[in-house]
Amino acid sequence: MVPRICVVTDSTADIPKEVAEQWDIHVVPLHVHIDHETFLDGVTITPLEFFEKLVKANNFPTTSQPSPTHFEKKYRELAGVYGEDVQILSIHLSSALSGTYQSANLARSFLDGKIDVSVIDSKKAAFFLGQIVVEAAKAAKSGKSKEDCLALIKRMIDGQRDLFMIDDLTYLQKGGRIGKAQALLGNLLSVKPILSLNEEGEVYPLDKVRGKKKAISKMLEYFHEYAGDEEVLCSVLYGKNHDEAKELAEKISGQFNVNEIHLVVLGPVIGAHAGPQAIAVSMMKK
């Protein structure tokens, strides 16, 4: 009998619940701390509820990773359901942004090799990570081997291109990413930074453009250089600006050879720094 492959991730992947259920993706939530309240990401607070609280918060929200015990419990639970020959792919938020990957790795060590768990540092965040998790889960459900799934994950980590545009620098300033004066000056000049993730999974500034329309045009330029006419998987991520994101998704569908496109709300980990009007786009050649 072929071993069952189960896919585990953390809530920073921002995978919509219906998608996680459809592809049997098991999500371990992070904690979100806003002022004096603590929530379970995606369980006791939704992304849109988070953005409502973000704009009113007195202190900058923080997040904390699940403990190794939470991951160990999930791995043992899956082994209990599917048997100890289950093969678990545990795919997580960039280790450069959080200790979540380290927590999952520590949990794996608690199992003494009795359960087959592969812990993967995606080098990604938000649905940039989520897209990889979903494709891995689809491959597992279609009967692909663990080795095939791991090869797909690596190809996506290496090949996926991710960009996000910050509309309001205030949130980067509150999170300590840039100084107050720089944020104020940037907002006055309508500077829109375009950020990306490097090979280590760290956020870095790729470009900066005056005005939102020009910034989105510049993002599309980068994607045209990357994808050309090739078939692509695509995701558009947003905060409270659903209509703007939907319009961009339609524009991308018209300009690129799109196999599939997802429209997904940013969660607390990236959303807190990017702000409620940010736009992010991920693209992967098929």
State the amino acid at position 126 in one-letter form.
A
* Closest to 282 measured CA to CA, from 166, 92, 156, 128: 128
Tell me what pLDDT residue 261 has.
96
Domain 5-30+65-159 in this protein, CATH class: alpha beta
d(CA 235, CA 283): 7
d(CA 176, CA 171): 9
Provide the CATH topology of domain 161-285: Hypothetical Protein Tm841; Chain: A;domain 3 (3.30.1180)
Question: What is the tens place of the pLDDT at every residue in 85-141?
Answer: 999 999 999 999 999 999 999 999 999 999 999 999 999 999 999 999 999 999 999
Torsion sign, CA atoms 104, 106, 112, 113: positive
Question: What is the tens place of the pLDDT at every residue in 243-253?
Answer: 999 999 999 99
Could you tell me the pTM of the whole model?
0.93
Q: Which residues contact 247 (CB under 8 A, 6 or more apart)?
A: none
State the amino acid at position 237 in one-letter form.
L
Between 39 and 273, name the one with better pLDDT.
Answer: 39
Question: Which part of the chain has CATH 3.30.1180.10?
Answer: 161-285
Phi and psi, residue 201, nearest 5° = 85, 20
Question: Quick one: average pLDDT of 222-231?
Answer: 97
H runs (alpha helix) in 95-241? 100-110, 126-141, 146-159, 170-174, 180-188, 212-227
Q: Is the Cβ–Cβ distance between 238 and 212 less than 8 Å?
A: no
Between 29 and 168, name the one with better pLDDT.
Answer: 29
Question: Which part of the chain has CATH 3.40.50.10170?
Answer: 5-30+65-159
